[in-house]
Amino acid sequence: MIPRNPDAKDLISLVVPFYNESEVADEFFREVSLVLRNIAQADYEIVCVNDGSTDATLDHLLAACAADPRVKVIDLSRNFGKEAAMTAGIDAAMGDAVIPFDADLQDPPEAIPAMIEKWREGFDVVLGKRAERQTDTYAKRSTAALFYRVHNAISDIKIPVNAGDFRLMSRSAVDALKQLPENRRFMKGLFAWIGFRTTEIEYSRRPRAAGKTKFSGWKLWNFALEGMTSFSTLPLRIWTYVGGVIAAFAMLYSAYLILRTLIRGVDIPGYASIITAVLFLGGVQLIGIGVIGEYIGRMYVEAKRRPVYIIRKIYQKDDL
């Protein structure tokens, strides 16, 4: 591991997706700018991505951009989702180190200097690992833990537990990430897939500074499905085993019926047992078709090769 030159002045890029975050935007810039200004031997840029906000978020971003030349605002043409907005910001970031960051300030900006210190020691990726998640509800903590267990059990790519999008990536890691062509992007998995020398720092997550989360239970469920189907084919393969088990039981049951008929004669067929078997097998088949459909749907989206995002306009201080 080769340490970086301690006399070099580094450019740090903070990439921040914004979606209806007008309540927290001003506090975000106050806290983040204070931390970034005090990092030794470094300059910085804040790449803000307005992901189709319908409130006054863009106005707050443009005001910050007009006041600070180190703030860049990328205004997307509509709401493309956090993963696409993060991709847009990472694509536009010019820094030697790039840090995806949430606008709600639950991940503390004070952890950024520790990440930069680790990066300067020679690591390409520095994960921000949540030491505890007491600010989340019990249901969210439980379902998150279940997701990590299931995903890492069925996928060859292991996602670090309790590590979100908050991390530092070197320019080499960012350039590798930008080579991945997926349209449907599960960023936690893509971050893990590229590899590179990785370490982590722990931090305590804070309550949201203002506003409300934009992720409902339904969105989180779909996000989990996206993650599991993006990096594993086991959900498809498992239906081969399910079919084999059912076929084996069917063969055993048919052998039992033949023997019973030879010994006791022919019984009157039972309607209840027939309809139960038909409904059970029909349900199993529909579940299997649904899993196949999830993969076919993703193939359909990828085959169209639409862009991940569309930029309406990029704002910098000189343009305002």
Helices 57-67 & 22-37, crossing angle to 10 degrees? 30
Domain membership flag for residue 5: no
Give the C-alpha separation, 50 to 296, whole Å: 31
CA 35 vs. chain centroid, Å, equals: 26
Instruction: Clarify whether residues 285 and 205 are in a common domain.
Output: no
The reply to whether 315 and 295 lie within a common domain is no
- Determine contact, residues 157/193, Cβ cutoff 8 Å: yes
The answer to whether residues 47 and 105 belong to one domain is: yes
Q: pLDDT 10s digit of each residue in the chain, 320 long?
A: 445 555 567 888 999 999 888 888 888 898 888 888 888 778 889 999 998 888 888 988 998 888 888 899 999 999 888 888 889 999 899 988 999 988 888 888 888 888 888 888 888 889 888 776 665 565 666 666 666 677 666 677 777 777 778 889 899 889 998 888 887 777 877 888 888 888 888 887 776 656 566 555 566 666 666 656 666 666 777 777 777 777 677 777 767 766 776 777 655 565 556 766 676 777 777 777 777 777 777 777 777 788 888 889 988 876 66
Q: Match 């930029």 to its residue by tokens.
A: 311
Per-residue pLDDT of 217-235, as tens digits, reads 566 666 666 656 666 666 7
| Cβ neighbours, 10 Å, residue 230 | 20
Q: Residue 130 falls within a domain, yes or no? A: yes
Q: How many CB atoms lie within 10 A of CB 112?
A: 25
Please give the residue range of the domain that contains residue 291: 234-304
- Output the pTM of the full model: 0.69
- pLDDT tens track for 146-201: 666 776 666 777 777 777 788 898 998 899 988 888 877 778 778 888 888 888 88
Place of tokens 């970034």: 36
In a domain, 187, yes or no: yes
Report the CATH number at residue 136.
3.90.550.10
Whether 155 and 251 map to the same domain: the answer is no
Q: Identify which of 21, 17, 19 has the alpha carbon closest to the alpha carbon of residue 210.
A: 21
Q: Are residues 67 and 177 in the same domain?
A: yes
Please indicate, yes or no, whether residues 126 and 241 belong to a single structural domain of this protein: no
What is the spatial distance between Cα 12 and Cα 73, in angstroms, rounded to a whole number? 16
Q: What is the DSSP letter of 270?
A: P
Count of domains observed in the chain: 2
Q: Would you say residue 226 lies in a domain? A: no
CA-based nearest residue to 232, from 193, 272, 271 = 193
Looking at the structure, tell me whether residues 250 and 133 fall in a common domain: no
Q: Which residues contact 6 (CB under 8 A, 6 or more apart)?
A: 41, 120
CA 306 to CA 290: how far, in whole Å? 24
Q: Are residues 203 and 71 in the same domain?
A: yes
- Same domain for 189 and 41, yes or no, is yes
Residue 228 lies in a domain: no
SS (H, E, C) 73-142: EEEECCCCCHHHHHHHHHHHCCCCEEEECCCCCCCCHHHHHHHHHHHHCCCCEEEEEEEECCCCCHHHHH
Q: How far apart are CA 179 and CA 176, in angstroms?
A: 5
Spatial distance between the Cα atoms of 283 and 229, rounded to a whole number of angstroms: 21
Residue 89 shares a structural domain with residue 187: yes
Q: Are residues 106 and 169 in the same domain?
A: yes
Measured CA to CA in angstroms, residue 108 lies from 42, 145, 282, 283, 294 at distances of 19, 22, 50, 47, 36
107: which 2 tokens? 């991940």
Q: What is the rounded distance in angstroms from the CA atom of residue 41 to the CA atom of residue 265?
A: 91
Query: Nearest CA to 12 among 75, 62, 64, 70?
Result: 70
Residues 43 and 134 in one domain: yes
Task: Return the sign of the alpha-carbon dihedral for residues 161, 308, 305, 175.
Answer: negative
Q: Count the helices and strands in the chain (H runs, E runs).
A: 10, 8
223 part of a folded domain: no
Residue 1 domain-assigned?
A: no
Residue 208 lies in a domain: yes
